[in-house]
Amino acid sequence: MDHDNLTETMRSFITHYTTDNIQSSLPLMVEDDPRQLTPVLVEAALCFDERHVPLYDRWSEEVLQETIDHLDHPGNTPGNKLTPKEWQVLHAEIGCSILNGLNDAEDLKDMEQWLLRDPSAHGLALRSAVSFLQGEPERTIEQYEAALRLLCKETGKRNVVIPGIPVLFFALALIQQKHAEAPFERLFTAAIQIEKLHGDNRFAAVLRILGDFVRVACGEIKFKQSPWLIHEPVRDNPWLDLFQGLALYWLDERPGDRQIRRLLRHIDKAVKNDLYWYADEATVLLEKLGVDTNEIDYRYEGDLRQRLVSLYQAKPRWEENLAALNRITQYYGSEGKESRDQAVSDRRMVWWIHGEGSFLALEPREQKRNKKGTWTKGRKVALKRLKEELQDFDYLTTADLKICAAIRKDYERNYSYYVETSYELEGEQALRAAMGHPYLYRGDMDGRDSQTVTLEEVSPRLEVVADSEGGTIRIRMHPYPDNSFDFIRDFLCYWAEQHRLQLMKFSDGQLEIAQILTSQGLLAPLSAKEQILNSITTMAPLVTIHSDIGGGTVGDAEETPADTTPYIHLHPIKQDGELGLETGLQLSLHYKPLGEKGPAFHPGEGRATLFVEIEGQAHKTVRDLNEELVQATQLVDRLQLLAAEDPWRWTLEDPEQALEFLLALQGMGDAVVVAWPQGKKITLTSEIGSSQMQVRIRKQRDWFELNGELQIDEGQVIEMEKLLRLLQQTPGRFQRLDDGRILTLSRQLRRQLESLNAIGDQGKVHPLATAVVEEVTEGMVVKGGKSWREQLERLREAESLQPQVPVTLQAELRDYQVDGFCWLSRLAHWGAGACLADDMGLGKTLQALALIVQRAPAGPTLVVAPTSVCSNWIDETERFAPTLRPQRFGSGDRQQMLDAAGPYDLVICSYGLLQSEIERINKMDWQTIVADEAQAFKNASTKRSQAIMSLQGACRIITTGTPIENHLGELWNLYRFINPGLLGSQARFNERFANPIELHHDDQARLRLKSLIRPFILRRLKSEVLTELPPRTEITHTVEFNDEEAVFYESLRRQAMARIAELPEHPGQQRFKVLTEITRLRQAACHPRLVIEDSPVGSAKLRAFVEILEELRENRHRSLVFSQFVRHLALIREYLDQQKIDYQYLDGSTSVKKRKQAVDAFQRGEGELFLISLKAGGSGLNLTAADYVIHMDPWWNPAVEDQASDRTHRMGQTRPVTIYRLVVKGTIEEKIVKLHAHKRDLADGLLEGTDAGVRLSVDDLVGLISGASSSDCT
% pLDDT > 90, the chain: 17
At 810 the pLDDT is 93
Q: 250-259: per-residue pLDDT in tens? A: 888 899 888 8
At 921 the pLDDT is 94
Q: 433-459: per-residue pLDDT in tens? A: 888 787 888 876 555 567 778 887 777
Stronger pLDDT, 1073 or 1041, i.e. the higher one: 1041
At 861 the pLDDT is 96
Helix (H, G, I), strand (E, B) or coil at 33: coil
pLDDT band at 8 (very low <50, low <70, confident <90, very high): low
Residue 128 lies in a domain: no
Helix (H, G, I), strand (E, B) or coil at 1157: helix
Q: Which of 65, 87, 119 is the last residue of a domain?
A: 119
What one-character-per-residue DSSP string does 675-699 give?
E--TT----BPPPB-GGGEEEEEEE
Stronger pLDDT, 887 or 345, i.e. the higher one: 887
- Cα–Cα dist 41/827, whole Å: 58
At 415 the pLDDT is 52
Query: Is residue 762 domain-shared with residue 869, that is, in the same domain?
Result: no
At 498 the pLDDT is 76
CB atoms within 10 A of CB 142: 14
Query: Is residue 1137 domain-shared with residue 1152, that is, in the same domain?
Result: yes
Q: 1164-1181: per-residue pLDDT in tens? A: 999 999 999 887 776 667
- Cα–Cα dist 1192/1105, whole Å: 8
At 342 the pLDDT is 42
Q: 451-496: per-residue pLDDT in tens? A: 778 887 777 888 888 876 778 888 888 888 876 555 567 788 888 7
- Cα–Cα dist 415/423, whole Å: 19
The answer to whether 759 touches 769, Cβ cutoff 8 Å, is yes
Max CA pair span of the chain = 128
Query: Is residue 907 domain-shared with residue 1011, that is, in the same domain?
Result: yes
The answer, yes or no, to whether residue 1255 has pLDDT greater than 80, is: no
- Cβ neighbors of 469 (< 8 A, separation 6 or more) are none
pLDDT band at 620 (very low <50, low <70, confident <90, very high): confident
Query: Is residue 1109 domain-shared with residue 1248, that is, in the same domain?
Result: yes
pLDDT band at 959 (very low <50, low <70, confident <90, very high): very high
At 192 the pLDDT is 61
User: How much is the pTM?
Assistant: 0.47
Among 300-314, 464-478, 583-597, 890-904, which is the least confidently predicted range? Answer: 300-314
At 799 the pLDDT is 83
The answer, yes or no, to whether residue 1250 has pLDDT greater than 50, is: no
At 89 the pLDDT is 87
Q: Which of 432, 449, 466 is the last residue of a domain?
A: 449
At 1270 the pLDDT is 46
Query: Is residue 189 domain-shared with residue 156, that is, in the same domain?
Result: yes
Q: Which of 92, 119, 146 is the last residue of a domain?
A: 119
pLDDT band at 967 (very low <50, low <70, confident <90, very high): confident
Omega of the bond leading into 479 within 30 degrees of 0 (cis): yes
Burial call 519-554: b when 16+ CB within 10 Å, e when fewer: eebbebeeeebeebbeebbebbebbbbbbbbebbeb
Among 256-265, 1240-1249, 1258-1267, which is the least confidently predicted range? Answer: 1240-1249
Residue 255 gets which letter from DSSP? -
Three-state SS for 858-902 is: HCCEEEEECHHHHHHHHHHHHHHCCCCEEEEECECCHHHHHHHCC
Structural domain tally of the chain?
7
| Gap between the terminal Cα atoms of the chain | 74
Query: Is residue 976 domain-shared with residue 1100, that is, in the same domain?
Result: no
At 1207 the pLDDT is 83
Q: 771-827: per-residue pLDDT in tens? A: 888 888 889 998 888 888 888 888 888 888 899 999 999 998 988 999 999 999 999
Angle formed at CA 1076 by CA 1070 and CA 1082, multiple of 5 degrees: 135
The answer to whether 1100 touches 1041, Cβ cutoff 8 Å, is yes
At 722 the pLDDT is 86
- Cα–Cα dist 587/673, whole Å: 12
- Cα–Cα dist 688/305, whole Å: 40
Residue 333 lies in a domain: no
Query: Is residue 1172 domain-shared with residue 1264, that is, in the same domain?
Result: yes
The answer, yes or no, to whether residue 24 has pLDDT greater than 70, is: no
Alpha-carbon torsion, ordered 1064, 1067, 1069, 1075, to 10 deg: 120
Tell me the one-letter amino acid at 1249: G
What one-character-per-residue DSSP string does 940-1001 give?
TTSHHHHHHHT-EES-EEEE-S-S-SS-HHHHHHHHHHHSTTTT--HHHHIIIIIHHHHHH-
Helix (H) or strand (E) holding 736: strand 734-736
Query: Is residue 375 domain-shared with residue 509, that is, in the same domain?
Result: no
At 1249 the pLDDT is 33
- Cα–Cα dist 672/566, whole Å: 5
At 726 the pLDDT is 82
Q: 980-1034: per-residue pLDDT in tens? A: 988 888 888 888 888 888 888 888 888 888 888 888 999 888 777 776 778 888 8
Q: Helix H segments across 218-346?
A: 227-230, 238-250, 257-272, 276-288, 317-331
Residue 218 lies in a domain: yes
The answer to whether 1264 touches 989, Cβ cutoff 8 Å, is no
CB atoms within 10 A of CB 482: 19
The answer to whether 13 touches 21, Cβ cutoff 8 Å, is no
Q: Where is mean pLDDT largest: 424-433, 675-684, 971-980, 1238-1247?
A: 971-980
Residue 871 lies in a domain: yes
Stronger pLDDT, 561 or 1210, i.e. the higher one: 561
Residue 127 lies in a domain: no
At 304 the pLDDT is 60
User: Average per-residue pLDDT in the chain?
Assistant: 80
Q: 530-561: per-residue pLDDT in tens? A: 787 777 767 767 777 877 776 655 455 677 88
Query: Is residue 101 domain-shared with residue 191, that is, in the same domain?
Result: no
The answer to whether 409 touches 392, Cβ cutoff 8 Å, is no
Backbone angles phi and psi of 630, in degrees to 5: -65, -50
> Average pLDDT, stretch 1039-1044?
90
Query: Is residue 1058 domain-shared with residue 912, that is, in the same domain?
Result: no
Measure CA 88 to chain center: 35
Domain that holds residue 1265: 1032-1273
Residue 938 sits in a domain of what CATH number?
3.40.50.10810
- Residue 973: burial class (beta carbons within 10 Å; 0-12, 13-18, 19+): buried
> Average pLDDT, stretch 389-411?
80
Q: Are strands 522-525 and 472-478 parallel, antiparallel or unpaired?
A: antiparallel
Alpha-carbon torsion, ordered 833, 837, 841, 847, to 10 deg: -20
> Average pLDDT, stretch 610-618?
72
Bridge partners (DSSP) of residue 684 are 742
Residue 340 lies in a domain: no
The answer, yes or no, to whether residue 1077 has pLDDT greater than 80, is: yes
At 14 the pLDDT is 67
Residue 286 lies in a domain: no
Residue 976 lies in a domain: yes
pLDDT band at 1236 (very low <50, low <70, confident <90, very high): low
- Cα–Cα dist 1221/1202, whole Å: 11
Among 415-419, 462-466, 675-679, 1071-1075, which is the least confidently predicted range? Answer: 415-419
Helix (H) or strand (E) holding 1023: helix 1022-1025
The answer, yes or no, to whether residue 1263 has pLDDT greater than 60, is: yes
Residue 1227 sits in a domain of what CATH number?
3.40.50.300
Query: Is residue 632 domain-shared with residue 502, that is, in the same domain?
Result: yes
The answer, yes or no, to whether residue 1274 has pLDDT greater than 50, is: no
Q: Are strands 585-591 and 566-572 parallel, antiparallel or unpaired?
A: antiparallel
Q: 306-333: per-residue pLDDT in tens? A: 788 888 876 665 555 554 444 433 433 3
Q: What are the Cα distances from residue 759, in Å, to 632, 1009, 1087? A: 47, 8, 50
At 575 the pLDDT is 43
Query: Is residue 540 domain-shared with residue 595, that is, in the same domain?
Result: yes
Stronger pLDDT, 814 or 906, i.e. the higher one: 906
> Average pLDDT, stretch 506-511?
82
Q: Are strands 1188-1191 and 1119-1123 parallel, antiparallel or unpaired?
A: parallel
